[in-house]
Amino acid sequence: MSIVYICAQDIIRRLEDQLRQLQAAKDDLEERQNELQAMIKRLEDSKNMEAAERAKLEEEIQAKQDEVERIRNEVEEKDQETRRLQVSLLFDFLIFFCCCSFGSVCYGYSII
């Protein structure tokens, strides 16, 4: 079994894990966005609310918007990491193919 094959398997496992984390983060983001929209609707529907109650709701909305933005940034970071792993996996497969095709050492890799 070659080093490249073992490395590729590791990258595939990391990529699968990263994809699961990315999906969970996207689901969390969607849930938080829905909560935010419900809060905004509640604020719009409550024109007769007392000032203190309305101010409290506006604070909660701002906090939820901040939370949504933080989660959106996390999703973007996870998405970028997933792309990096995909590129790494593609590179390792290309190296493996190169080594198999030419039966030689390629960029420090060799077929064992």
How far from chain centre, in Å, is Cα 103? 38
For position 14, what pLDDT does the model report? Answer: 82
C-alpha–C-alpha distance, residues 112 and 110, integer Å: 6
Is 112 a member of any domain?
A: no
Per residue in 20-79, pLDDT (tens digit) is 988 999 999 999 999 999 988 888 887 777 888 888 888 999 999 999 999 999 999 989
Determine the structural domain holding residue 79 and report its residue range: 3-102
Number of domains in the chain: 1
Is 107 a member of any domain?
A: no
Distances in Å between the Cα of 49 and the Cα atoms of 9, 12, 61, 62 are 58, 54, 15, 18
Q: Running DSSP on this structure, what letter comes out for residue 47?
A: T
Predicted confidence (pLDDT) at residue 105 exceeds the cutoff of 70: no
